[in-house]
Amino acid sequence: MARLVLLGALLGALCATAVQGSLDGSQVEAGLGRQPKDKPHEYNYNRHGIDWRDEGLDNCAGSMQSPINIDMATLNRGEERSDVSGLYLNGLASPAYDVAADVTVNAEQDMKITFKDVAQNNMPAIKIDGSDMLFKPMQLHFHHFLSEHAINGAHYPLEAHLVMGDASGNTNQLAVLGIMYQYGEQPDDFVQRLQTKTIDEIATNGAGYGETVNVTDLSVNIMKDVLPPTHHNYVGYDGSLTTPPCDERVKWHVFTEPRTTTTGQLEKFLMIAKRGHTDAIVTNNRIVQPIGRPLYHYKPTPAAYNYARKGFDWEASNLMNCVGDRQSPINIPSPDTPSEFSNYNNGALQEIPPSNRISLNGLTSQSFTFTDAYVNLEQDMKISFTAPTNNLPTISINGNEESFRPIQLHFHHFSSEHTVGGMIYPLEAHLVMASQAENSNQLAVIAIFYEYGSEADDFLTRLHTEAISAQQGNANWGDNNVPINLPITFATDLMPSSQGYFAYDGSLTTPPCDQRVKWIVMKEARTTTAEQMETFKTATVNAHYAAEVVNNRVIQNKAGRPVYSSP
């Protein structure tokens, strides 16, 4: 029994070592708010926590205990949760935000990683009872061979818990991210680095299994190393620590998309656990608890990128193809702007040569209409549609005239992506078109600016009316490809009164940032109102609470590219 008591003191399965036994000053400062106890809690995983509740161990018999089984068919929508917002990941969703480079690792069951140094800016946040609360990542640990939470009645072989405390230190509120791992053919890169570096540190520097090991070069980037690879959908609920003292002070966020692990990585968890404590139970999970409370389904913005740093982090992290000499958007030189404005504005406008001739063709016709529209009820309000196949706009590329068929329309709101002479517009629409040439992946995008005025834009009014009507019917904010009755005639709905434009070669303005876009930026702006902009904001925040309302990438260096001007 003595060895089990000792094991209980050292286990870290969900804050075990962060809150049980003893607390150092940094943990109290992080908001855990518990004073040291004379002796560690006496628990083990022999009965997977059934005995904790039966024996009333600490607070393990409450009504909001964790973990739980999550039935995806019975969840409430995240926006229906009145007292708690979703989780604003902020820096945690950036590929440039490393939590720590130097960490300590418990070389035993759960392999708890304690972060020594966490950036104080751009920390994740949750609004609780009307107040914004920032959370500081404190530690990451693993439950192996059987996840603690179950989804639709089934467990995963591995579950990681990222534990965060109130950054102000004023409360003992915790927030925990639960990430599942499924078996696959490829090992998880981060788990492999963690296990390899810990084992190497023990072998080379005299540390022992069962001890806390200093690992000086284990950089942890939550987006790339911990969060799911494709999307950040998760289930939120109020619960508890999953080890004694089982305090019911945790805002849980259990992500529904798993990462991948292998049996080889699970075997290393077993080896490290047994070498740390020979009598350790390698399946270190607590059994699921009664639910008896609402669960909420959240669908945040895609994991691949966000606008928290306006795209600076995409380039700094070499995200996809976002580093190159033909990136977009750019600042377009204006005859009224000095050329010494820097390379973001230098170079005179040039006349469009015949080899780059652009013909809008059917886009200027009242009969050229896009039909069968579907809208994304979220940030950018992307509209997919069916466009005509004849009389398409054409662009001369390397002496060959290629036709381009419109495929979708979306918006960048509250700050245009392109600027003209350094001037920012409040709204920019992008009509994306695909080349119809065989074996071509060339794109062309027509950009339309909007400026504030006294008159609302008729097309935006129709779009917003249809979107709100759909949301009030059978659709929800955040739903994609929602059918709406919105025929679109470019000549009247999107074309400014003047057909003058700027043109240059660039890229997509979001990852993957592929440099295969012929940009056509209309010179004259259409008009919008503050009320119409408010609808874009409503769609954004109601669909994905963590989404940036201002969804523009910062302007890129022109790197000597010519910018052409039509009459």
CB-count burial class (<10 Å; 0-12, 13-18, 19+) for 455: exposed
Confidence of residue 308 (pLDDT cuts 50, 70, 90): confident
Q: Using CA atoms in the order 461, 466, 468, 472, what is the torsion angle rounded to 10 degrees?
A: 150
Q: Are 383 and 408 contacting, i.e. CB atoms less than 8 angstroms apart? A: yes
What confidence score (pLDDT) does residue 22 get? 27
Q: Are 18 and 163 contacting, i.e. CB atoms less than 8 angstroms apart? A: yes
Determine phi and psi for 327, rounding to 5 degrees.
-85, 155
Q: State the average pLDDT over residues 221-233.
A: 87
**Tens-digit pLDDT profile for residues 181-207:** 999 999 999 999 999 999 999 998 878
**Tens-digit pLDDT profile for residues 131-186:** 889 899 999 999 999 999 999 999 999 999 999 999 988 999 999 999 999 999 99
What confidence score (pLDDT) does residue 91 get? 72
- Better-scored residue on pLDDT, 511 or 296: 296
Determine phi and psi for 222, rounding to 5 degrees.
-60, -40
The Cα–Cα gap between 479 and 470 comes to 10
Instruction: Give me the sign of the Cα torsion angle 392, 393, 395, 399.
Output: positive
Q: What is the DSSP string of 493-505?
A: HT--SS--EEEEE
Q: Which of 109, 166, 150 is nearest to 254 (CA)?
A: 150
Bond from prior residue into 512 cis (ω within 30 degrees of 0):
yes
**Tens-digit pLDDT profile for residues 476-497:** 888 888 999 999 999 999 999 9
What confidence score (pLDDT) does residue 431 get? 96
What confidence score (pLDDT) does residue 29 get? 29
Q: Are 9 and 38 contacting, i.e. CB atoms less than 8 angstroms apart? A: no
Q: State the average pLDDT over residues 27-55.
A: 56
What confidence score (pLDDT) does residue 449 get? 98
CA distances from 492 to 110, 220, 358, 365, 431 (A): 62, 51, 20, 9, 14
Q: Are 78 and 236 contacting, i.e. CB atoms less than 8 angstroms apart? A: yes
Is a pLDDT exceeding 80 seen at residue 367? yes
Q: State the average pLDDT over residues 319-336.
A: 85
Confidence of residue 7 (pLDDT cuts 50, 70, 90): very low
Is a pLDDT exceeding 80 seen at residue 14? no
Percent of the chain residues past pLDDT 70, beyond the cut = 88
Q: Are 443 and 508 contacting, i.e. CB atoms less than 8 angstroms apart? A: yes
What confidence score (pLDDT) does residue 453 get? 96
What confidence score (pLDDT) does residue 547 get? 76
Is a pLDDT exceeding 80 seen at residue 222? yes
**Tens-digit pLDDT profile for residues 370-396:** 999 999 998 899 999 999 999 999 998
What confidence score (pLDDT) does residue 161 get? 98
Is a pLDDT exceeding 80 seen at residue 523? yes
- Token pair for 216: 């000086």
Is a pLDDT exceeding 80 seen at residue 12? no
What confidence score (pLDDT) does residue 423 get? 94
Is a pLDDT exceeding 50 seen at residue 62? yes
Confidence of residue 534 (pLDDT cuts 50, 70, 90): very high
Is a pLDDT exceeding 60 seen at residue 5? no
CB-count burial class (<10 Å; 0-12, 13-18, 19+) for 389: exposed
Q: How far is CA 319 from the centre of its chain?
A: 14
Is a pLDDT exceeding 50 seen at residue 342? no
How many C-beta atoms lie closer than 10 Å to residue 278's C-beta? 11
Paired strand residues for 212: 106
Alpha helices (H) in 237-311, listed in sequence order: 263-276
What confidence score (pLDDT) does residue 72 get? 95
Is a pLDDT exceeding 70 seen at residue 3? no
Q: Are 158 and 261 contacting, i.e. CB atoms less than 8 angstroms apart? A: yes
Rg (CA), the chain: 27
Q: Round the average pLDDT of the chain to a whole number and report it.
A: 85
The Cα–Cα gap between 516 and 508 comes to 8
The Cα–Cα gap between 228 and 245 comes to 29
Domains and CATH numbers, the chain: 31-69+81-298 (3.10.200.10), 331-566 (3.10.200.10)
Is a pLDDT exceeding 60 seen at residue 39? no
- Better-scored residue on pLDDT, 230 or 444: 444
Determine phi and psi for 238, rounding to 5 degrees.
-90, 125
The model's pTM: 0.56
What confidence score (pLDDT) does residue 95 get? 63
**Tens-digit pLDDT profile for residues 67-115:** 999 999 999 988 788 888 888 787 787 666 778 777 899 999 899 999 9
Is a pLDDT exceeding 80 seen at residue 36? no
Alpha helices (H) in 177-307, listed in sequence order: 189-205, 222-225, 263-276
**Tens-digit pLDDT profile for residues 383-442:** 999 999 999 999 988 778 899 999 999 999 999 999 999 999 999 999 999 999 887 889
Determine phi and psi for 261, rounding to 5 degrees.
-135, 180
Q: What is the DSSP string of 347-381?
A: S--EEPPGGG-EE-GGGGSTT-EEEEEEE-SSTT-
The Cα–Cα gap between 352 and 396 comes to 11
Determine phi and psi for 15, rounding to 5 degrees.
70, 10
- For Cα atoms 369, 374, 375, give the angle at the middle one, nearest 5 degrees: 115
- Token pair for 44: 């083990």
